[in-house]
């Protein structure tokens, strides 16, 4: 079976070459999938895509016209896929529902600790032979209240680590998990009581801009906000306003709602035209990483293996439980 892999990086190729089934023939394209690049998939049986590829109705229609009946997401999120159109066209869509949730959870904690103890600033100071501690004051994580919005596999992994720090956990999820011995509460109470808030929910029409001027107004002054889930959960302009008036004391982002034209590329020799993103970078209490929370050896191995399994299930006419549209 021939598969067109879009947004392909060297590590994607290495992963599939090492872990994928030999019967799968991958064609790699570094371009993102969109209405202009979709024709690259001609002659293939399936496409394999990542978080910023475009699976809108227009793209799916062209894929269908080329005879492509399978979309393999090498990620857990699917907000970039028009599932209704895929179903109407008979295009099967499968995802990787869990690839090392510990990878994202550990990156979440790393962002919390870096912002709190200002490790990025300390690193640069020491390299300049500056050993002064002024401006590096942090706080104990022990005893602090952390609000987790979303307690799926990544949220649960994050909760387990935070319990080890001695944090108090407040959780919100539309489907509470009995495995988690933590206090589930309303969003309003979570906003009001949490010293740190971490987002671990999918991006849906219901969660888009979950963090907005109204939810921010309910939070503690100086709150730490972390997002390693999807950029669209946050209204970035509202967050910038809250940074300016010091409602947000610390902001850690591994995702950004307009990241598609920025992340996963080396733009060091180019001008970035996104004024909102550039404004975020001016704040000393903001830490941004380029959607790397998932990026561990273990996670890449699981992504390659599960994506391969999803493609083989399609080729065999079987279901393995990872389908969003079957």
Active-site residue, 259 included: yes
Active-site residue, 241 included: no
**Chain centroid to CA 287:** 15
Q: 291, 297, 298, 323: which is the annotated catalytic residue? A: 291
H or E, element range at 240: helix 236-244
Q: 241, 259, 269, 275: which is the annotated catalytic residue? A: 259
Q: 117, 230, 241, 257: which is the annotated catalytic residue? A: 230
Separation between Cα atoms, residue 323 and residue 98, nearest integer Å: 13
Separation between Cα atoms, residue 194 and residue 197, nearest integer Å: 6
Active-site residue, 106 included: no
β-strand pairing of 25-28 with 2-5: parallel
List, in order, residues 6 or more apart from 41 with CB less than 8 Å away: 4, 6, 33, 47, 63, 66, 68
List, in order, residues 6 or more apart from 110 with CB less than 8 Å away: none
Separation between Cα atoms, residue 243 and residue 261, nearest integer Å: 24
Read off the tokens for 27.
Answer: 């064609």
H or E, element range at 124: helix 119-127
Long-range contacts, stretch 81-88, CB < 8 angstroms, 24+ apart: 81/55, 81/324, 82/55, 82/56, 82/57, 83/324, 83/325, 85/56, 85/57, 85/60, 85/61, 86/55, 86/60, 86/324, 86/325, 87/325
Taking Cα atoms as reference points, which of 122, 136, 141, 123 lies closest to residue 226? 141
Residues annotated as part of the active site: 230, 259, 291
């Amino acid at each position: 079976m021939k598969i067109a892999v879009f947004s392909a990086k060297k590590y994607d190729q290495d992963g599939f070459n090492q872990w994928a089934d030999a019967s799968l023939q991958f064609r790699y394209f570094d371009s993102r999938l969109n209405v202009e690049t979709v024709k690259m998939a001609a002659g293939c049986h399936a496409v394999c895509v990542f978080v910023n590829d475009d699976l809108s109705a227009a793209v799916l229609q062209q894929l269908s016209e080329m005879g492509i009946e399978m979309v393999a997401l090498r990620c857990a999120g699917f907000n970039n896929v028009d599932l209704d159109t895929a179903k109407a066209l008979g295009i099967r869509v499968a995802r990787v529902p869990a690839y090392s949730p510990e990878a994202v959870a550990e990156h979440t904690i790393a962002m919390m600790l870096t912002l709190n103890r200002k490790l990025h600033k300390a690193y640069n100071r020491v390299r300049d032979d500056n050993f002064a501690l002024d401006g590096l004051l942090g706080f104990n994580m022990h005893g602090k209240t952390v609000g987790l919005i979303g307690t799926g596999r990544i949220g649960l992994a994050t909760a387990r680590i935070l319990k080890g720090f001695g944090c108090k956990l407040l959780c919100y999820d539309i489907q509470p998990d009995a495995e988690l011995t933590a206090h589930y509460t309303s969003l309003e109470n979570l906003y009001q009581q949490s010293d740190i808030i971490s987002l671990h929910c999918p991006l849906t029409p219901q969660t888009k801009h979950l963090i907005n001027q109204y939810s921010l107004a309910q939070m503690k002054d100086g709150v730490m906000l972390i997002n390693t889930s999807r950029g669209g959960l946050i209204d970035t302009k509202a967050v910038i306003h809250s940074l300016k008036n010091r409602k947000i004391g610390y902001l850690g982002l591994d995702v950004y709602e307009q990241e598609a034209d920025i992340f996963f590329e080396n733009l060091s020799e180019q001008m970035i035209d996104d004024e909102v993103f550039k404004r975020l970078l001016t704040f000393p209490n903001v830490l941004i990483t380029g959607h790397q929370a998932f990026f561990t050896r273990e996670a890449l191995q699981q992504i390659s293996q599960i994506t391969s399994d999803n493609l083989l299930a399609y080729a065999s006419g079987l279901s393995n439980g990872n389908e969003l549209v079957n």
